[in-house]
Structure formats: structure tokens, C-alpha cells
């Protein structure tokens, strides 16, 4: 990802102005559920009151009760954890970067435990854009690249095709961005 400020600003404006459409079949939420179609755009950061646990290669990589989530229209929540609650000795910064028109430049982390590895399985925002300072330095995980991720006692399902790294739980309904045909959502 080029770090030229003018290029970044053009990308930000392009994606913020992108005309999105809603799918025809939105699942109505049941009792105790949220619809990702009721989530805001731009995204919002919220505190989570559930324990988060991430497992890989027989190791609990992360275990935290200090969790933040970012919610955004069409996507399952993305959960962010403080590095103090992560076994960072298994993580190595990678060269991979992505750009979010709201949060800014994300840097990725690869994980190695013994002979097992998961490339670009976590990411963070070292210097997030205004409004997202709360997640600075926290890590989020692509659950589909790991052995298991949990919120409370519930094992999460990865967002389709690991798009945006959202975690699907029984308390949210979609459809979710990342499924075939969802590029314009």
C-alpha cells in the first residue's frame, strides 16, 4: 500500500463516496439478536463485556476481558485486544498492509508456534485515524486462519472469505459482506 498522503486521501474519498446497495433479503433479528444492517456507517467502536479467547497450535494466543469491537454496516463485528493480553512472542510483524477509509493504515502480523504458522492472521492500527484512537495498538484476528476463536463460550464463525475479519456469533444476523455477490454492499 503506497503511503503517499495524497494517494491515501484519494482512496479514502473514493471509498467513502462509493454507492452501496442493500441486499434484497435482510434477515430480521430475533430476540437478543442484532442485524448487521442496523450497524452504523461510519463504523463505531464499542466496549465488549464478553471474554475473548484465540487458540492456535495447542496454545491460547489471546485471552482477554478488555475487548473492543468495531461495528459497521453489512459486516460482523471485528474484535480488538490489547497486546498485554496476547502471547506476542508467537507474533512477528509482516510486510502486509491494508487501508480502511475510516480507520487508516493497518499492519499485519504472522503467527508461528513450532512448525505451524499462519501468515497475516492478525492486524493492528499503529496510528488510526481520528475517531478510532481507542483501538490504537490493539490486535484483531482473522478467525479463519486460526484453530478456534471464542466470545464467551461460543466458538465464532469467520466472516465469509475472511472479508474484513468479522466474527459471526449466534447473536447477529446478516446477510454478511464477503458472501458471493456482496461486493457492492
**What digits encode the pLDDT tens for the residues 115-135?**
999 999 999 999 999 999 999
User: What are the DSSP E strand ranges found in the chain?
Assistant: 34-35, 44-48, 52-56, 59-64, 67-72, 75-81, 91-100, 104-113, 116-124, 139-141, 148-151, 154-155, 157-158, 167-168, 172-173
Domain annotation covers residue 168: yes
pLDDT value at residue 4: 77
CATH number, domain at 72? Answer: 2.170.150.40
Query: Structurally, how many domains does the chain consist of?
Result: 1
Distance CA 163, CA 70 (A): 14
pLDDT tens column, 73-100: 999 999 999 999 999 999 999 999 999 9
Q: What would the mean pLDDT of 18-32 be, rounded to a whole number?
A: 91
Domain annotation covers residue 16: no
Domain annotation covers residue 31: no
Distance CA 127, CA 156 (A): 28
Number of residues in the chain: 185
Distance CA 75, CA 174 (A): 8
Angle at 169 between CA 79 and CA 112, to 5 degrees: 50
pLDDT value at residue 79: 98
Residue 163 DSSP SS3: helix
Domain annotation covers residue 52: yes
Domain annotation covers residue 7: no
Distance CA 103, CA 16 (A): 12
Band of pLDDT at residue 157, cut at 50, 70 and 90? very high
Q: What would the mean pLDDT of 167-171 be, rounded to a whole number?
A: 97
CB 167 within 8 A of CB 157: yes
Domain interval for residue 127: 43-173
Distance CA 146, CA 87 (A): 14
Amino acid at each position: 500500500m503506497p503511503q503517499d498522503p495524497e494517494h491515501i486521501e484519494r482512496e479514502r474519498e473514493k471509498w467513502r463516496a462509493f454507492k452501496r446497495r442493500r441486499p434484497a433479503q435482510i434477515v430480521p433479528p430475533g430476540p437478543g439478536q442484532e442485524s448487521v444492517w442496523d450497524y452504523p456507517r461510519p463504523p463505531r467502536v464499542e466496549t465488549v463485556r464478553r471474554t475473548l479467547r484465540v487458540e492456535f497450535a495447542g496454545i491460547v494466543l489471546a485471552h482477554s476481558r478488555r475487548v473492543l469491537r468495531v461495528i459497521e454496516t453489512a459486516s460482523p463485528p471485528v474484535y480488538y485486544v490489547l497486546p498485554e493480553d496476547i502471547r506476542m512472542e508467537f507474533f512477528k510483524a509482516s510486510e502486509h498492509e491494508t487501508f480502511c477509509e475510516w480507520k487508516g493504515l493497518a499492519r499485519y502480523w504472522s503467527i508461528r508456534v513450532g512448525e505451524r504458522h499462519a501468515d497475516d492472521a492478525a492486524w493492528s492500527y499503529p496510528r488510526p485515524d481520528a475517531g478510532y484512537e481507542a483501538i490504537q495498538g490493539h490486535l484483531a484476528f482473522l478467525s479463519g486462519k486460526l484453530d478456534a476463536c471464542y466470545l464467551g463460550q461460543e466458538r465464532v464463525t469467520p466472516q465469509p472469505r475472511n472479508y474484513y475479519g468479522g466474527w459471526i456469533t449466534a447473536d447477529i444476523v446478516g446477510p454478511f459482506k464477503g458472501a458471493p455477490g456482496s461486493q457492492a454492499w
